[in-house]
Every structure is written in C-alpha cells, then in structure tokens.
Structure 1
Amino acid sequence: MDLISTLSVIPDVDWIWVQVVGTTDSNNASQAAALKAGRASRAGTKAGRIVRLVRLFRMLRILRVVKKNKNGEAKKVEISEPSKIGKVLTEKTTRRLIVLVLLIIIISPIIDGTVDLTQDDFQTSQFERLHRYTQDYNKTGSITMEHMQSLVNEYVRDSNGLIVQMELANIDNEKLITWLKEVRFQDLNSDESDWLFKSNQTLSKNPKTGWSASFLVDDPSEKYRTAELATVNNLGCYVDDVCVDCDAASGTSPCHSIVTYDITSRWLSVLLSV
C-alpha cells in the first residue's frame, strides 16, 4: 500500500510527469486521463490509510481494555478478605491485646514502688536546708532575716509546685506569709524553658507553674482531699550538725518546719498521658 501511494504522487510532480507523457498538444487528452487516474489512485490510497488508522485505534482500545481487566483481577487478589478462621484469630488476638494493655495500666502503679508523684527531690532537700538555716547552719549569726527572706524566695521560685502552706522553725508565721506574698518572678525566655536572663522580677504569678500567693490557705485539709496534697516535714532541733531531740519518744519537737503542695495538676497530667 505504501509503494502504491508513493507512485500515485508522481503525476503531481510536473517535471517528472512531463518526461513520462510529453508536452505536445496531441497528448492533452491522454494527459488528462492520466491525471484523473492519479487522483483516483490517491483517493484510494487515502481511504486505505484511514481504514488502517481506524483499525489501529481499535486495537489500542482493545489492548487498554485487556490491560485494565488484568489490573482489576490483580487488585481483587490483593484485597481479598481473610478466611473465616483468619477473622476469628484476628479478633481474638485484638481482644487479648486490649486486655493486656488494660492490665498493664491498672497493675503498673501497684507493683512499681519507685514512682511517687508526691515526692520531689528539690522540694525535699532544699526545704531541709531552710529548716536548718535558722539553727546550726546559722551558728555564727551571719544569716540575717533579709538573707533568710531571699532564701525563701529562691525556694519558692525554683520549686516546681503549688505551695498552699509553709511554716519554718524559728520564723514568725505572719512574717513568713508576708514574705511569700512578696515573692516576684521573672519572664520566661523565648522557648519558655527557663527564666529570661537579666529580666526584672516583677510578676506576682510564676509563669512556669502558675503559682501565686492566692494558693496559700491556713488549713489545707479544709480545701483539699488527702490525695491532692503532698507534705514535706522537717522535725528536729539541730546543734553542731546533730539532732538533739529526734529520738524523743513523743515524736514531737519545737523545731518543726512544714511545706504543703497542691498536686492535683500532677495527677491530672498522669491521667491525660494514659
């Protein structure tokens, strides 16, 4: 077909066709007949090409349909549902996993005695120092009331908790409450991880914990339940680094310091994390 189509173009090229049929007037009729034959041949060639193009498009459509059907069959195989036995095993495994997780959540707090939400190392160790700063730690008398107030301020600022009550041995309670109300805090840095360096202490509310003097109460038991409080006690009178009445049978001492914290937020954070 391609060869015939190429040959049919020859009558359209004058300088080739003149060499074939000549240029005399006697040959005009034969030339016209040849031209008509060439046009008919070209028309047939074009029709043949159209038919081949139509067949080609049909073949492409058929190939696409076949390919699509094969992909569909492959997808059906991939997403096939599990058997009845597989469904039962999957359901049982899921149930056992849920029960196991629930048991871990319930039993872990009981068997793990190392986690105690009511204890904080800083609150305990630093408060013990405050308890003794008014006793044997101040044997020379160099720790003045102003210095003691600054120590209390540092404890409150750096203590990660909400203080609701505080008493210190050898410090008047009214004076201590006044100190607590006068505590001021700095702003936090850009990532809120620590105090802003060289900023003034002007805030009455701790931006880290939200504590302010409004948390202070005379009797915490009237406002809070036992589980909502954590208490740090320091009992005993010290002389030359020795407690002189810690072995008393009564278990009491005139040298008694206590600080109580509201730990409701700690329990809430644990529940939310679970």
Structure 2
Amino acid sequence: MTPTTPLFITPLLDGLSWGIMLVLIAMGLTLIFGFLEVVNFAHGGYYMIGGYVVFASVTAGYGFLVGVVAAILVVAILGVLTERLLLKPSYDFGPVTQLLIMVGVALGIEGAVILVWGEQAKGVPIPELFAGSVSVLGSTYPIYRLVLMVVGTVIIVGVWIFLERSRMGLVIRASLTDKEMARAFGNNIPAIYTFVFASGVAIAALAGALMTPIRGIGPETGASILLQAFIVVVVGGLGSYRGSVVAGIGLGMLDILVARYISFRLSGITIIAVLLVVLIIQPRGLFGVKGVMEE
C-alpha cells in the first residue's frame, strides 16, 4: 500500500479533520492559561454543552445550523458569567482557589446535563446540506468531514490574524510575558480577561457542536476531551498558540492512524508516550513560552 492509495487517504483525512478539531479545543485552553493563568478544568464541559445544545436544537426541530450558532452564543454567555462572577473575585487568592472553582464548574456542568438529558449518550444526524461524499485523490470521502476541515482552518487562521494584527491581540500576546507593561499602556485588562475566557470556551463549544454528528455526546465526554486537550497544550507548549496548532494536528492524526492501522487500544497509549517523550526532551513543550512555567 502506498501513500496515494484510497486505504491510506481516508484515515489520513480522518486524522487531519480530528486534529483540526483538537486545535479548536486546545487553542482556547492555551489562551486562557497563557493570559489569565487559569487552568480551566471545565473546558471539556463547555465542549459538551455545545454538543447538547445542538442535540436540543435538532430535537426541537430548529435544525443543526441554528444549534451551532446557539451553542456558540450560549457558551459565550456562560463564559462571561463564569469569569465575572466566579473567577474575577478569585484572582487575588492564587491558582489553587481558581483550580477548585473550575473543578466545581466542571462537576456542575456534568450534573446539569445528566439532570436534563440523562446518562445515555446522544447524537444527531449529519445535516442534509453536507450529506454525501466526494472523490478525494481516488478515495470517496464524506463531505461533512471536509467541511469540518475548512471551518476549523478558517477559525484557526482567523484567530492567528487577530492575535498578530489587532490591538487586543497584541495586548494578549504582550501580556503572556509582562502583564504590568500591558496595563501601563492603558489597556483594560479585566475586560480582556472576560473576552479571552468567553471566546476560548465558545470555540470549544463550536468544536463540540460540529463533532456531535460524528462522535456523539454524553456526560463522560467532557472529561475525555479535557484530557486530550491538556495533552495537546502541554506537548505544544503552555501559552503557545502555534504549539497548540502543531500539536493538535499532529496528535490528532497520530491518534487516528494508530487506531486504524495498529490497535484502537494503543492510540491513547501512543499519545501519552509522545507526551512523556516531549516533556523529557523539552519540559516547556515544543513551543512553550519562556517564563510561563516558572511564574
């Protein structure tokens, strides 16, 4: 079998689509940690809410696309409330307090979804607009997965342009190394805190909404997604947006290829092995921001 055969192209594209979704999840996590210095243990829960909102929208007859938009808006509002009401009063009490708060939020989200939707996993069909398949390099491939790649890539590039070109993006990047200097230039850091947190969890919710037709959603989804997102962030480098992109795509493709060609059970072990090797060779991760780990 050569790299151009259909049997190779399909898992390669599957890995790429999943890797791009991992990037969407991990980018918010790494920006929240890099800027707010908060380990968001509820990040997987916000991903999960995105999936459940889509399920509720489809079940109620409003459709998939309405559900995706609603997922982004609902989780963005929840993100604003979480940062303003729970995290903001805790910034003077240190990371342990913030960690406990976010663990509490994660448990609250899990309990809420079980109360509303039960313990059984849910799913939605692929929307008719994106149903069907097309030929890609001699392989028949689902249109919906190609849509995921395009949407994910547009968001990844859009966030990168925002960080590189906008004034707020410059403040966010500058604050990764010196928050006091960023404040000295008259920037409203508390408002940016809220924006970064709400945007980060909203992007995770978007990924959850988009992945629900493929992987479904359940009360345990948040914990498993959180673990994978943390591995991506640590391998890529805490506080590094570029690291999240490289690690997310790389680990996503590795996960699918190992599961497809070796063993489904070995895919998770392989990802952990990569994490350990990277930490031994480069403790800050592949593109870790100098000083983030020490602060």
TM value normalised by structure 2: 0.24
Structure whose CA Rg is larger: 1
Structure with a larger share of its residues in helix:
2
Structure with a larger share of its residues in strand:
1
